[in-house]
Structure 1
């Protein structure tokens, strides 16, 4: 509040509120997360902080939109592991749209739905540097570019240039994959420090991946 003098009388006048940009900046990291591991979490956290995002959502797919069938475990188990993995990080959360829709989902359809639900949000879609070269093959890529800003995580051996507008971010990466973790579990090897401890305990408790070839 401030005072205004009129005809010798002071009156209180409310100060104008400064105009603010109330749009949210949200990152999305999609994947099968079978299981979620420490590299997934490292990428999400580092990109979120590097770009000053309000939140980064890990978005598990119900079924991969690939021609070749990908074997995966139940969505409920993958979701439970994700929830355990992000529970201690306020920056990270989970987007369940594709799990709730079920079936195969294309990124364009998902992001179109999310933009309709959250018109005040700008989305940053995070992909590995190895995936950038495949962007021309993505379903409705030109329309998708109107819905999201792509963020590329640099990877050794892959170019960091593209005909598409990409924000590049450096993230220290481990040579780690969900496939490796599943095979280690099946072989009776330790996966401690490959995944969050809560995820490791869940895998053991539920007896997951014991039949992995």
Structure 2
């Protein structure tokens, strides 16, 4: 089975997240995409202090209609920072016979050199990089951290990096939906509409719980 792993704070989950997951599923023949909310994100404080449980519930509501999408609370069950390499290792232990694909936006890929034990991610599983508006990866090899550049080679005809460990990095153009969680939080805090930015069920949940009513 081909399993896509898609992590993030999902604060809140929005339509661009869902579209990225769907494009990765379709174009890379994934059997399942697992949404993995971060419990304690390592790179920056969680805006608004929205509890892990509420962010999980928003994801659950957002993906309820897609049988290929599932939610995992694995990072909420693990103490400490939510490092991607630890999550990948946990899924490898649970799914030793499956092939794992770590799904990221191009904005995250361009900063992957800042991630905890990032080199191990490339050696542990394949990556799917979906282009985000304004963050195009023009030269995949040049975008890599210098320390691991020699471990991969690029085939431009198929827009794919191949790692010496047998894993790969695929680059997808994707549908350029310029939607951000920070803008959704800003609109919600101002009492403005977030319709067509998040699924209706998520919008209703945010309003009912008043999740971002006092978010800075």
Aligned match for 1:100, one of 52, 63, 77: 77
Distance in 2 of aligned mates of 1:191 and 1:58: 22
Instruction: List, as ranges, runs of 4+ consecutive aligned residues in structure 1 with deviation greater than 3 Å.
Output: none
| 2:179 equivalent to 1:176 | yes
Q: For residue 63 of structure 1, report the CA deviation from its aligned partner.
A: 1.1
Q: For residue 162 of structure 1, report the CA deviation from its aligned partner.
A: 2.3
TM-score (norm 2): 0.82
Distance in 2 of aligned mates of 1:150 and 1:202: 32
| 2:123 equivalent to 1:130 | no
Distance in 1 of aligned mates of 2:123 and 2:60: 30
| 2:145 equivalent to 1:143 | no
Tell me if structure 2 keeps the 8 A contact 1:29–1:56: yes
Tell me if structure 2 keeps the 8 A contact 1:26–1:122: yes
- Please state whether the residue corresponding to 2:102 is helix, strand or coil: strand
Following superposition of structure 1 onto structure 2, how do residues 40-79 of structure 1 map, counting pairs within 5 Å? 40-66=17-43, 68-71=44-47, 72-79=49-56
More helix by share: 2
Q: Give deviations 1:49-84, integer Å, cap 9, x for gaps.
A: 111110011110001112x43333011111111111
Pick closer, same or farther for the CA change 1:157–1:98 going to 2, 3 Å: closer
Following superposition of structure 1 onto structure 2, how do residues 1-213 of structure 1 map, counting pairs within 5 Å? 24-66=1-43, 68-71=44-47, 72-155=49-132, 156-163=134-141, 165=161, 166-213=169-216
Tell me if structure 1 keeps the 8 A contact 2:106–2:135: no
Distance in 1 of aligned mates of 2:208 and 2:115: 38
Q: For residue 157 of structure 1, report the CA deviation from its aligned partner.
A: 4.5
- Please state whether the residue corresponding to 1:100 is helix, strand or coil: coil
Aligned pair count? 189
Q: Which has the larger radius of gyration?
A: 1
Structure 1: any 5+ residue segments left out of the alignment? 1-23
Distance in 2 of aligned mates of 1:81 and 1:132: 25
